[in-house]
């Protein structure tokens, strides 16, 4: 009898252990999934924020930008760049007449990285603005080890200064660019809305109001009709 009881007790204990093990394993799986989901949602928002950050459209700042102030900002570039006509290449290429020119080409045979050469196209105000805001983002792998100018007014001032050094391109039309900039923020908001809808949409749509809610309780409606305002 004792032996049998012990055996039964052993099985029960064993079953408990197995159940606990399953519970722990289940918990691990559950916890393994959850952060992945949440992390993804947050990442999406960050991406939208970084890509189309609520930035001022550069074109709207250019008409009032000040080349003299831009010359001051250029001091940050002068460690690596000359900008006078026929100036020497240094750590970076001479920048005379760069706006309007092909990106990462020419400049007396300066050894541009493939990262920058691969961008293609010509330097216009938008591209130059993106480049100066974050060289690393504009051309990942570039050897221009410059963090970037976070301040949009600094960039606008610098752009008109650069433009005055041999390029003299017409300024881009402000209204169109302003509209493009205005899209950025709503886009980010849209992403957030989509994410939230994905998470809670099903719950919201299948939810039925409590039967006691006045609006759906048939008894309440009957009572309401029976007893007019006293």
Judged by CB under 6 A, the chain residues 156 through 175 that form the site for ligand HEC are: 158
Q: According to the binding rule CB under 6 A, does residue 80 interact with ligand HEC?
A: yes
**Contact status, residue 156 vs residue 182, Cβ threshold 8 Å:** no
Give which of 73, 82, 213 is closest to 133, Cα–Cα. 73
How big is the chain, counted in residues? 230
Q: According to the binding rule CB under 6 A, does residue 142 interact with ligand HEC?
A: yes
Q: According to the binding rule CB under 6 A, does residue 59 interact with ligand HEC?
A: no
Number of residues that bind ligand HEC (CB under 6 A): 25
Q: According to the binding rule CB under 6 A, does residue 104 interact with ligand HEC?
A: yes
Q: According to the binding rule CB under 6 A, does residue 133 interact with ligand HEC?
A: no
Which residue's CB is nearer to ligand HEC, number 146 or number 171?
A: 146
Which residue's CB is nearer to ligand HEC, number 57 or number 149?
A: 149
Burial of 157 (0-12, 13-18, 19+ CB in 10 A): buried
Stretch near ligand HEC under the rule CB under 6 A, chosen from 34-42, 53-61, 76-84, 210-218:
76-84
Which residues are 102's β-sheet partners?
Answer: 122
Q: Which of 59, 61, 103, 188 binds ligand HEC (CB under 6 A)?
A: 103
Q: Which of 58, 61, 92, 130 binds ligand HEC (CB under 6 A)?
A: 92
Which residue's CB is nearer to ligand HEC, number 48 or number 74?
A: 74
Which residue's CB is nearer to ligand HEC, number 145 or number 168?
A: 145
**Contact status, residue 173 vs residue 43, Cβ threshold 8 Å:** no
Q: According to the binding rule CB under 6 A, does residue 58 interact with ligand HEC?
A: no
Which residue's CB is nearer to ligand HEC, number 65 or number 149?
A: 149
Question: Least distance (Å) from ligand HEC to the CB of residue 36?
Answer: 36
Q: Which long-range contacts (CB under 8 A, 24 or more apart) does 165-169 make?
A: 165/83, 165/84, 165/85, 165/95, 165/96, 165/97, 165/98, 166/85, 166/96, 166/97, 167/97, 167/98, 167/99, 167/100, 167/101, 169/99, 169/100, 169/124, 169/125
Helix (H, G, I), strand (E, B) or coil at 60: helix
Angle subtended at Cα 150 by Cα 145 and Cα 153, rounded to the nearest 5 degrees: 125
Q: According to the binding rule CB under 6 A, does residue 76 interact with ligand HEC?
A: yes
Q: Please give the residue ranges that form the binding site for ligand HEC (CB under 6 A).
A: 76-77, 79-81, 91-93, 95, 98, 103-104, 107, 112-113, 115-116, 132, 142-146, 149, 158
């Amino acid at each position: 009898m004792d032996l049998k009881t012990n055996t039964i007790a052993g099985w029960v204990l064993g079953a408990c252990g197995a159940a606990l093990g399953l519970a722990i394993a289940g918990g691990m799986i559950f916890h393994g999934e959850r952060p992945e989901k949440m992390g993804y949602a947050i990442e999406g928002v960050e991406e939208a924020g970084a890509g189309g950050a609520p930035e001022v459209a550069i074109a709207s700042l250019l008409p009032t930008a000040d080349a003299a102030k831009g010359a001051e900002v250029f001091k940050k570039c002068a460690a690596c760049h000359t900008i006078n006509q026929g100036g020497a290449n240094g750590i970076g290429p001479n920048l005379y007449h760069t706006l309007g020119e092909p990106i990462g080409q020419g400049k007396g045979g300066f050894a541009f990285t493939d990262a920058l050469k691969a961008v293609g196209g010509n330097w216009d105000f938008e591209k130059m603005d993106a480049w100066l805001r974050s060289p690393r983002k504009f051309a990942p792998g570039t050897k221009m080890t410059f963090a970037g100018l976070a301040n949009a007014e600094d960039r606008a001032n610098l752009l008109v200064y650069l433009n005055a050094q041999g390029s003299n391109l017409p300024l881009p039309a402000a209204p169109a660019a302003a509209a493009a900039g205005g899209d950025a923020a709503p886009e980010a908001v849209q992403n957030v809305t989509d994410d939230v809808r994905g998470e809670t949409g099903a719950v919201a749509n299948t939810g039925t109001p409590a039967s006691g809610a006045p609006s759906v309780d048939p008894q309440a409606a009957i009572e309401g009709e029976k007893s007019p305002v006293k």
